[in-house]
């Protein structure tokens, strides 16, 4: 999890190569990257919290809050990188990616609980 957070931080530390994305596919790739980065972060965070024997609801909320706060801090961090800007819509994409995985993870946790 720490490694994944470090990778996200490093990617956010790279100065923009200049200008807006020139083509729609590049823009879509960048936005999809936000969703995927935070989907993976949510999965790793939820697994780490679930290994501690916490109740499923606490695991899901803890992972969600962590991912949301990390997304906000990452966008703030980008305001200090030349050519980069913090964007609320990117936080929304990040939280959306995390939510998709956490919803699925929550269903899996409830199925495991019901099987017992």
User: Could you tell me the sign of the dihedral formed by the alpha carbons of 110, 111, 115, 116, in that order?
Assistant: negative
Within-domain flag for 17:
no
Number of domains in the chain: 1
Within-domain flag for 18:
no
Q: Quick: pLDDT tens for 18-68.
A: 555 567 777 788 889 999 999 999 999 999 998 878 888 999 999 999 999
Predicted TM-score of the model (pTM): 0.85
Within-domain flag for 65:
yes
Q: Quick: pLDDT tens for 58-77.
A: 999 999 999 999 999 999 99
SS (H, E, C) 18-59: CCCCCCHHHHHHHHHHHHHHHHHHHHHHHHHHHCCCCCHHHH
pLDDT in the model for residue 54: 86
Provide the domain limits for residue 84: 2-12+23-115
């Amino acid at each position: 999890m720490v490694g994944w957070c470090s990778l996200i931080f490093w990617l956010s530390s790279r100065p923009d190569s200049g200008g807006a994305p020139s083509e729609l596919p590049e823009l879509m790739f960048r936005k999809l990257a936000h969703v995927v980065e935070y989907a993976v972060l949510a999965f790793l965070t939820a697994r780490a919290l679930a290994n501690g024997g916490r109740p499923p609801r606490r695991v899901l909320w803890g992972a969600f809050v962590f991912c949301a706060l990390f997304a906000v801090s990452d966008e703030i961090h980008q305001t200090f990188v030349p050519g980069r800007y913090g964007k609320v819509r990117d936080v929304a994409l990040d939280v959306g990616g995390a939510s998709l995985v956490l919803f699925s993870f929550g269903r899996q946790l409830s199925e495991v609980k019901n099987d017992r």
